[in-house]
Amino acid sequence: GGIGAGGSLFDTRHGTRRRVGVLFAAVCFIATVVGIVFLAVLLIDIWRDGASRLSTTFLSGYPSRFPSRAGIRPALVGSLWTLSLTALISFPLGVGTAVWLEEYAPKNRLARYIQINIANLAGVPSIVYGILGLALFVRALALGQSVLAGALTLALLILPVIIIASQEAIRAVPNSLRLGAYALGATRWEAIRHQVLPQALAGMLTGTII
């Protein structure tokens, strides 16, 4: 009788947990659908208001005091150059730093100190990086108001985020892949290059895009 009562109680609790799980999944799905619907409504509204104003003249023209002749070509080209240079500068540095911290750096006080500072830099307001870029790149290095100065400043801004995201992606790679590579005679760099980095690339790219 006791076994039957215990089994019945277990079935009741299991059924309750299952119903709660289904309810929670339904709530999450509804929240996701609501968010997607509002985003779609926003994008449609923006498209309806702005589609009629899009033209080749607007995309390829230069700023003008006449609204009908004004274009965004300098801003568009400058933004593309800045983003490209920022990615070229920050991605190799961020990934290289993450690889060193996770795969090569000894677990000592220096590594912990570097890790703490990287985490702190990720929370620094962007205006501080802007002031640093103005003082260092624009004035001290005499780069002026150039695309390179902006790209270097943005690289400093996003570098901590890329490092942290890359570290998390590297940590998510199963250690069995490294051990299997070592067992087959691969060096540490070969294991990292052919096993770890391909598996962690998706997370690293996510950090870069963010």
Average pLDDT, the chain: 86
Mean pLDDT confidence for 195-206: 87
Q: Of all residues in the chain, what percent carry a pLDDT higher than 90? A: 39
Which string of DSSP letters, residue by residue, matches the chain? -HHHHHHHHHHHHHHHHHHHHHHHHHHHHHHHHHHHHHHHHHHHHHHHHHGGG--HHHHH----SSTTT---HHHHHHHHHHHHHHHHHHHHHHHHHHHIIIIIS-SSHHHHHHHHHHHHHHTS-HHHHHHHHIIIIIIIS---S-HHHHHHHHHHHHHHHHHHHHHHHHHTS-HHHHHHHHHTT--HHHHIIIIIHHHHHHHHHHHHH-
* Tens-place pLDDT, residues 164-187: 999 999 998 998 988 898 898 888
pLDDT exceeds cutoff 90 at 135:
yes
Confidence of residue 19 (pLDDT cuts 50, 70, 90): confident
